Structure 1
Amino acid sequence: MNMAVKGIVKMHLRDRISWFLVPWCIMMSSFLINLIIAGTMNDDQIITGGLASIYIYSMVSGIVAVNHTFPFALGLSVRRRDYFTGTMMMILAVSIVTSIVLTLLSYIEDASNGWGVRLFFFHLPYVTDGNAFQQFIVFFSFLLFMYLFGFVISSLFRRFGRTGLLVAAIVSLIIGTVLVFAIIHLEWWRDIFDFFDGRSAFNIALLLLPVTIVCSLVSYALFRRSTI
């Protein structure tokens, strides 16, 4: 690792609040609210989707981090390649640490029967059906994808500006609408259902990794020609 890449990683680490504290505060606030509600109920099992908050924040963080740090890094004569590499390393590190903690919380929640009040916030059906390694991969794969998806959005903005981002959004909406129509009209939904039927969350997470790699390549290609 060269000095420029190390400098980018250190630059991101200075903003520990945004990378670590804020997402966990948001998610744990949701957890505490659900825990209080579960404690007032009479032995009813509660399965909540509050865990999604950390994934949504990951996408937002992927967008915001670039806008906050990219112009500053270029102002210090850092190469785009070094900035991209350092930022990817930071995203990987955050995703790994977060996934390890989520896996531990999932096991604690399962062992304690939902924290004693049958609240299942981290240990979710289907999502955490596998062993510890499989659960880690599920958490990690989706976190990494959300970060990189946000990174692609920010890269589009840096390369083409607001107009380019708007055009990309409109084109994506049109393509999505056409695909939905085709799936329903041509009954492709049967094939899609058959494809996912029987596949575990771990299998889906593995399938998502190549998509994440494509996102990183697209981001890098856009960054090479982006402006401040």
Structure 2
Amino acid sequence: MNTVQGVVKMHMKDRVSWFYLPWIIVLSSFVVNLFIAGLVTTEDQLVTGGLASIFVYAMVSGIIGVHHTFAFALGLSVRRRDYFSGSMMMIAMTSVGTGLLLTLLSYIEMWSDGWGVDLFFFHLPYITDGNAVQQFIVFTSFLLFMYIFGWGISSLFRRFGKTGLYTMSIVSLLIGTLLVYAFIYWGWWNGVHDFFEGRSAFNLGLLLLPVSVVLSFVGYALLRRSTV
């Protein structure tokens, strides 16, 4: 357990990447949108997609996290299992903390009528349709998935190198292209539409949790067999 805590502390030393930079990015986008909303004279609400930047950054952070710390941790004789446990603990804590802040900002935005200028940056249609607990789970689940998705990409690179990463990208592109043609040819889009139409963001957030767990163990399996 002490080793796992050590891995968490190792990650936390990079406060800029884990804590400061994502909020600098998303708040910079927020300030720009707030400025624009203050200048625009319209009765319509201004709803932006700037919040997506923090989720994209979560994936990038997952990628660079393994790249910056894996070899260093093994050089300190940290077991791969402990590295995995500590990394997942760090990702979980960061996702929960960020999810709480996003939920709080969503409610402040709602109570203040869009910061007084009808700007809705954190309180978004569909994403924040539920109560506070549901919103928190949605934010946290999507952040968790993006962090672990990035972590899995970096783990794949550690295991198979550039060749494996390029191969996986090409295979994924080919499979995606074939699926698009299949959906068009057999008319499967209606089924996809029905699947999402009947589910709230909260339902999708819950569905993502087991996917994130499975993906994390796939990443661990890759790291177990990777070279430093």
Q: Tell me whether 1:9 sits opposite 2:47 in the alignment.
A: no
Q: Partner amino acid for 2:134?
A: Q
2:149 equivalent in structure 1: 149
- Map residues 158-169 of structure 1 onto 2, 5 A cutoff: 158-169=158-169
For the residue of structure 2 that corresponds to 1:50, the secondary structure is coil
2:28 equivalent in structure 1: 29
Q: Partner amino acid for 1:4?
A: T
For the residue of structure 1 that corresponds to 2:182, the secondary structure is helix
**Structure 1 gap ranges (5+):** none
1:39 equivalent in structure 2: 38
Q: Partner amino acid for 2:156?
A: L
Q: Partner amino acid for 1:63?
A: I
- Map residues 211-222 of structure 1 onto 2, 5 A cutoff: 211-222=211-222
- Map residues 92-103 of structure 1 onto 2, 5 A cutoff: 92-103=92-103
Cα distance in 1 for partners of 2:4, 2:208 equals: 27
Computed over aligned residues only, the root mean square deviation of the Cα atoms, in angstroms, reads: 0.7
Cα distance in 2 for partners of 1:175, 1:55 equals: 25
For the residue of structure 1 that corresponds to 2:226, the secondary structure is coil
Q: Partner amino acid for 1:161?
A: G
Q: TM-score, normalised by structure 1?
A: 0.98
Cα distance in 2 for partners of 1:169, 1:119 equals: 38
For the residue of structure 2 that corresponds to 1:124, the secondary structure is coil
Moved segments of 4+, more than 6 Å:
none
Bigger Cα displacement from structure 2, 130-139 vs 194-203: 194-203
1:205 equivalent in structure 2: 205
Cα distance in 2 for partners of 1:177, 1:212 equals: 24
Q: Partner amino acid for 2:180?
A: V
Q: Partner amino acid for 1:128?
A: T
Cα drift, residue 198 of structure 1? 2.5
Cα drift, residue 5 of structure 1? 0.6
Q: TM-score, normalised by structure 2?
A: 0.98
1:132 equivalent in structure 2: 132
